[in-house]
Amino acid sequence: MTTSIRRTVAFPGISIEHLKIMLGAYNSHLKQIEQRLDVNIIHRGDSFYVDGDLDTVARAESLLNKLYEESESSKQVTADQIHLLIQASQTDVDLSEDPNQEHTGLDDVWLQTRKGRITPRGLNQKRYVQRILQSDISFGIGPAGTGKTYLAVAAATDMLERNEIQRILLVRPAVEAGEKLGFLPGDLTQKIDPYLRPLYDALYEMLGFEKVAKLIERQVIEVAPLAYMRGRTLNHSFVILDEAQNTTPEQMKMFLTRLGFGSRAVITGDITQVDLPRGQQSGLAHALRVLEPVKEIHITRFHSRDVVRHQLVQKIVEAYEGWDSEQQRIGSEERAARKARQEALIRENDVAADHQHQTT
C-alpha cells in the first residue's frame, strides 16, 4: 500500500526572474514534472507544495532543487533539459534500491571536450564512463538513445585532448548496405560514410567541423568499416566499435584481438536490433557470453529508463520490450502445450500397443 504525503519545498528570497525560469511558460515545467512523476505541485510565492506517493514526492523535491540550481546558472531552461533532469533523478532511486552496488566516485565523473564539459546523466551513464576511463576494454549494451556511442566518443575526445592517446578510430560494420554498396556513388570510403554519420556528428559537436576535418586529414581520427581492421595492430589508440550487434562472432574476435599497447576499446550495440541475415549469430551476443568470466572487461547494460532522447523514445522502447516479453511468454506456453500433447499422444500409443500385445 502506498503512502500519500505532502512536502513543502521553499526557496526564500528567490527572484521573479529565477522563478519564471523554474516555472516555464504557463507553468509548463511543473506540468511536465507532474505528468512524468504522477504528483501534484501547487506553487505559492516562493514555496512549492508537492502531493503524491512517498517515493515520487521525494524525486519531485530533488527535481525542484536541481531546477532551482539551473535557474541560477541559466537564463532559460528548456523542456528537453527538464526531461534530462527527470531521467537523471532516477539515479537516486537506483542507489536506494541497490545498496550493495559500488558507487564510489560516480559524482565526480565527467568529460572535458573542446566545446565544454560533458556530464553523464543517471547512474548507468556514470558507471559506463567510469569503466571506459578505467578499463582497456568495455561494453555498452542497450537500446537507442541511452548515450552509448555519444559518451564513448566524448571519452575518446577527452583522452585525445589530454594526450593520453595518439589517435581515435571509429568503426562500424556495414551490414545494412550489403550488395547495394556497389550502386552508391563514389569510392568505398564515400559509400560507407552514410553508415558512419552518427559518429561524425558526435565528433563535430565536440571538436567542431574544421578541427575534425584537420584531424581526419592527418589521420589522427579515422572512421572506417570493420573490414578495414583485419590484419592491423592498434597501439596508443582509442577504438570504438559501434552497432556491434551486426558483427559475426569471427568479426568480433578479429576486432578484439587488434588491441595493442596503450590502447583501449569500447564496443557498443543493441542486441535487440540485429540486421544480420536470418540464422546468423550476432558476434556481440556471442562475445557477451564468452567474455563474461574475464574480470578485466566491464559490461554496462542500459535499460529503457536510461534513454535521454525525447520522452516518447523511452515509451517506445518500453512498448517493444513489453511486446517481446509477451511474445516470448506466449511462445513458451505454446511450446509447453505442444510438448504436453506430444507426451500425451506417446502415452496413448504406448497404451494402445500394450493393449494390442495383450489381446494377441
What is the distance, to the nearest Å, from the Cα of residue 265 to the centroid of all Cα atoms in its chain?
17
Instruction: Output the tens digit of pLDDT for each of the chain's 360 residues.
Output: 557 899 999 999 899 998 999 999 889 999 999 988 899 999 999 999 999 998 899 889 989 998 998 888 778 888 878 877 887 776 555 544 554 455 555 666 778 887 778 888 778 888 999 999 989 999 999 988 888 999 999 999 999 999 999 999 999 887 654 445 555 566 656 666 777 787 888 889 888 899 999 999 999 999 888 888 888 888 999 999 999 999 999 999 999 999 889 999 999 999 988 888 888 999 999 999 999 999 999 999 998 777 766 666 667 767 776 777 777 778 778 888 888 888 888 887 777 777 676 666
The secondary structure of 118-183 as a DSSP string is E---SHHHHHHHHHHHH-SEEEEE--TTSSHHHHHHHHHHHHHHTTS-SEEEEEE--TTTGGGGGG
pTM value surpassing 0.75: no
For the chain, helix (H) and strand (E) counts, in that order, are 12, 11
Which residues, listed in sequence order, are joined to residue 239 by a DSSP beta bridge?
169, 265
- In this structure, the strands spanning 167-172 and 221-225 are parallel
R_g over Cα of the chain? 26
Spell out the domain ranges in the chain: 4-88, 101-309, 311-360
* Inter-CA distances, 319 with 308, 312, 314, Å: 16, 10, 9
Classify domain 101-309 at the CATH superfamily level: P-loop containing nucleotide triphosphate hydrolases (3.40.50.300)
Residue 202 CA to residue 209 CA, distance in Å, equals 10
The highest-level CATH class for domain 4-88 is alpha beta
SS3 content of the chain, % helix, strand, coil (to 5): 55, 15, 30
